[in-house]
Amino acid sequence: MLIRPPSISTIPANWPPNTGTNLIGSWKTTEYYRNQGLNIHFSSINTHQTTVGKIQSHQKPFNGSNIRIFSGSAHPTLAEKISKYLEVPLSERRITTFANGEIYLQLKDSVRGKDTFIVQPTVKTNGGKSVNDHLMEVALMADALKRASAKTVTAILPHYGYARGDKKAAKREPIAAAVTANILQATGVDRTISMDLHAKQIEGMFSAKSPLENISAIPLTAGYIANKNFETDNLVIVSPDAGGLKNAQQFQETLETLLKDQKKKISVDLAIVNKKRVAINQVKTMDLIGDVQGKTAVIVDDLIDTAGTTIGAAQELKKQGAKQVILLATHGIFSGKAIVSLKNADFIDEVVVTDTIPLSQETQKLKKLSVIPTAPLFGEAIKSLKSNNGLPNINDF
């Protein structure tokens, strides 16, 4: 669904390369994205880093016989894609809701002595379930797995709910991201994996005995942009606020590496939209720092929620002379009237998100929307953990 394929070039006959090559994922990962219409070569991503892991020839082939993958009710489609990628059947479970709103959960498969994985973004879905419902499902499932003598319990939260509550903005406020971390750890989760946290300090809210791993989607999103055919030879990566500047710089560096590898003579600049908020989801003023005149502007953010501030930033870029405007975010929440607003924003040429969050039918009808699959990245994360290698090849920047 919804993937607008860029041009596809031929993968070299000698691929995959010999050991020692910097890789994110495997040949299977590269082949997966090629089949999806995305020409993302994982050999060329992260090469600007000195700490990137290397795939070694002595690594044993992945054996999924000792793992069990369970899905909550939030995003079973993503869980199914991950299980298919790993060639491990999705384990059965039963989740129902009583008349009083309480959740009932039962695991149908034995997990004694197994490494178990729960796939569940903590988001609001069209079925009427809230962030809280899905978080409670994770907690109940983790508890059930521990009581059933699972060897390990890993919670894969593609989107970490309450991530924006990473600090106190005013007196007598809770730190919701920390409360979420406490719930996961208290119910028996040994490790949590998420993608592009809204605030990286959330990693510090988890103990060393139950750590949080943050995977970056930049290899996928930058790879997608690198393979597009633009109307201009000048790109500008735009941070929607000062807090996202580091992420935008990392995206810029990765994109420059990919374009250089493809021998494309396209310059990549950086700009910032400085915004002043007057309330949650409300912005009073926006100022542009940088030059977008006659360029293709790519706004890079971790999520699109109501899309109000993002659309405002795109409108400002268009006023400042940007020829094309692309919105790019890892998580497409699309709350409220976001889709209607994006549809009516004719100054936005494309909206790009990953599939960490299930998309409504209304969202899928948005013609300017492109969706990048993430199942191989999460699949490779499971492989790395299973082989006791951590996440050296796909970890965050």
Q: What is the pLDDT of residues 266-319, one digit of tens each?
A: 889 999 998 766 566 565 567 899 999 999 999 999 999 999 989 999 999 999
Q: How far apart are CA 78 and CA 339, in angstroms?
A: 22
pTM of the model: 0.84
Which of 146-160, 275-289, 372-386 shows the highest mean pLDDT?
146-160
Q: Among residues 319, 308, 370, 372, which one has the least CA distance to residue 344?
A: 308
Residue 275 annotated among the catalytic residues of the structure: yes
Q: Which of 151, 260, 275, 368 is catalytic?
A: 275
Amino acid 129: pLDDT: 94
